[in-house]
Amino acid sequence: MACCGCNGKGNVAVKDVDKLDEILSKYEGIKGSLISILQDVQGLYEYLPEEALNYVSEKTGIQRAKIYGVATFYTQFRLDPVGKHVILLCQGTACHVNGAKAIEEAICEELGISEGETTEDGLFTLTNVACLGCCSLSPVMMIDGEVFGKLTPKKAREILKEVKASEE
C-alpha cells in the first residue's frame, strides 16, 4: 500500500466501502459535518483507521491534514484499535491521593501492558483519565461503563480476572 493509503491507482484500500459511502451520503452538502462523519466512522470500526480517513478526505475534498487535526484534537476519537474492554483509570486528585498509582501498577502487571496500550489478545485497553466524578469511591476505575470503587491493587486484579473469565 502506498503512503497515501491508496493502492497506487488512486483508490483507497478500505474495508466496508459501502458503509462508508452511506455515512458520507448522509452528510453530503452539510457544512461543518466533519465531527459527525468521524463519529460515525469510529462507530463503524471502533476507531479511525488511516485508510478510512484517507477515503473520507478523497470523497469529501476535506484535506487530510484537517481531518487528522480534528481526529487528534478531540479525545473522543481513537486512531488505534482498542480492546473489547476499555479500562478507564481515574487519576483525579482524590484517586491520586488514595492510591491510583498502585492500582495502575497492578493493572499493568496483571495485563502485561502500559497505560494507553491494548493486550495482545485484544481484550483490554488501559486509559488514564483526569476524573470519573466518583471521588467518594476513590480510587476508581470504569470498565465498559461500570464503576469499580474503593480499589486496592488486589481488588483491581480480581476484577480483571473476573472479566477475563467471563470471556472464556
CATH number at residue 95: 3.40.30.10
Please give the pLDDT value at position 139: 98
Q: Do 93 and 162 fall within a single domain?
A: yes
CB 129 within 8 A of CB 115: no
- Cβ–Cβ contacts within 10 Å for residue 168, how many? 4
Establish if 129 belongs to a structural domain: yes
Confidence of residue 96 (pLDDT cuts 50, 70, 90): very high
pLDDT of 8 strictly over 90: no
pLDDT of 68 strictly over 80: yes
pLDDT of 3 strictly over 60: no
Of the candidates 108, 37, 41, the residue with the CA atom closest to the CA atom of residue 78: 41
Residue 145: give the domain boundaries.
85-166
Establish if 126 belongs to a structural domain: yes
Q: Do 94 and 137 fall within a single domain?
A: yes
Beta bridge partners of 143: 87, 146
Establish if 9 belongs to a structural domain: no
Q: Do 89 and 139 fall within a single domain?
A: yes
